[in-house]
Structure 1
Amino acid sequence: MDRKTGNDGSTSIGSGKYLNFRLGQEAFSIPVLKVREIIRLRPITPVPRMPSCIKGVINLRGKIVAVMDLRKRLEFPPIEYDEHACIVILQSQEGESFGLIVDCVEDVTYIRPEDVETPPSLRLDVNAEFVAGLAKAKDGVKIILNAHRLLDFTSIQQLLENPS
């Protein structure tokens, strides 16, 4: 995630293009530089003993890619996916690809740093670790996800060791 460190040690989200998508009524954004591609939802091969949020794997042009149900990971209620659901393929800093199932992709927009605020320091649950900021938009607020945390294979390994 593009972050800039200020003199006071604070960090802010850098300006840039963000992919906007939805989970139910909630609007999310992720830096477009982390997005490798967007594909239609396709059959996913389950893998035994994976955490419940990892749906399984797909074969993407000869490469095996793990797919996470973002609804499950962020503790949204499950739904029957329709023709708008898709898999957003992200690329980690290590070059690994990872898929996120989302309800629908909307568009790509430019987000300015002055339009982003840090999440309120209320009693946030564990999902707050994935929130990089909240962006003000014409149609409300978009939750900017921290792609680095979503793709943190250390935390995914911890999920593998302690499936929920």
Structure 2
Amino acid sequence: METQEKFLSFNLGVTDTAVISLRHIAEVLQVSLPEICGVPQMPSSVLGIYNWRGEMLWLVDLEAMLGYPPISPGSNLVSKMMAIILENKGKYLGLLVRQIIDIEWLDAKEMKATNTELFYPKISPFLEGYFINDSEEIIFNLDATTIIQSSAWGIHN
């Protein structure tokens, strides 16, 4: 049985790497922060709404959501960010990340089960598991469906 799957890898924070399965990714695009309309009364990780293909797309600061320091819109470094558009059953959500690394093949059989002691409490609910790469580094495998269905924005989409 074929257990290889394609994943999009990207940076989380300064040192970490995460992946999301390509089957949940509708598109990856560059977003400039001034084009995002902020929405009051939302969690700080929700940056606001973005016009995507004529639709209103919620954009989330993935790092802030997972317990990393938030993207600070003031810094020029991040005036342009990459948005990973997730799709699940007709619902879309944009995750803003600093940098996309690559598309890679990973073997689902090599994925390790999450251990809540290992990870920040904020990241654990969104993990499908993790991989260990050749350099012995942990690569978080984020669960796109759980992220899209998160109660933080579920009421809004």
User: TM-score normalised by the shorter chain: which range applies?
Assistant: 0.7 to 0.9
* Residue pair 1:84, 1:104 contacting (<8 A) in 2 also: no
Distance 2:70 2:36 in 1: 16
Structure 1 44/83 Cα, relative in aligned 2: closer, same or farther at 3 Å? closer
The answer to whether 1:30 aligns with 2:26 is: no
Distance 2:84 2:132 in 1: 23
What residue ranges of structure 1 are gaps of 5+ in the alignment? 1-13
* Residue pair 2:60, 2:95 contacting (<8 A) in 1 also: yes
Name the structure 2 match of 1:118: 113
The answer to whether 1:145 aligns with 2:152 is: no
SS at match of 2:123: helix
**Cα distance, 1:15 vs structure 2:** 3.6
Structure 1 123/115 Cα, relative in aligned 2: closer, same or farther at 3 Å? closer
* 1:13-49 per-position Cα deviation (integer Å, ceiling 9, x unaligned): x641110000221100000011111111222101121
Counterpart residue type for residue 91 of structure 1: E
Counterpart residue type for residue 11 of structure 2: R
Name the structure 2 match of 1:51: 43
**Cα distance, 1:121 vs structure 2:** 4.3
Residue from 60, 63, 73 that aligns with 2:65? 73
| TM-score normalized by the length of structure 1 | 0.79
Residue identity over aligned pairs, in percent, reads 23
Distance 1:104 1:150 in 2: 19
Distance 2:122 2:66 in 1: 9
Counterpart residue type for residue 132 of structure 1: E
What root-mean-square deviation, in Å, do the aligned CA atoms of Structure 1 and Structure 2 show? 2.1
Residue from 5, 8, 16 that aligns with 1:16? 5
Structure 1 83/53 Cα, relative in aligned 2: closer, same or farther at 3 Å? closer
Structure 1 153/143 Cα, relative in aligned 2: closer, same or farther at 3 Å? closer
Which structure 1 residue ranges, 4+ long, deviate > 3 Å from structure 2? 79-84
Distance 2:123 2:107 in 1: 24
Distance 2:148 2:84 in 1: 12
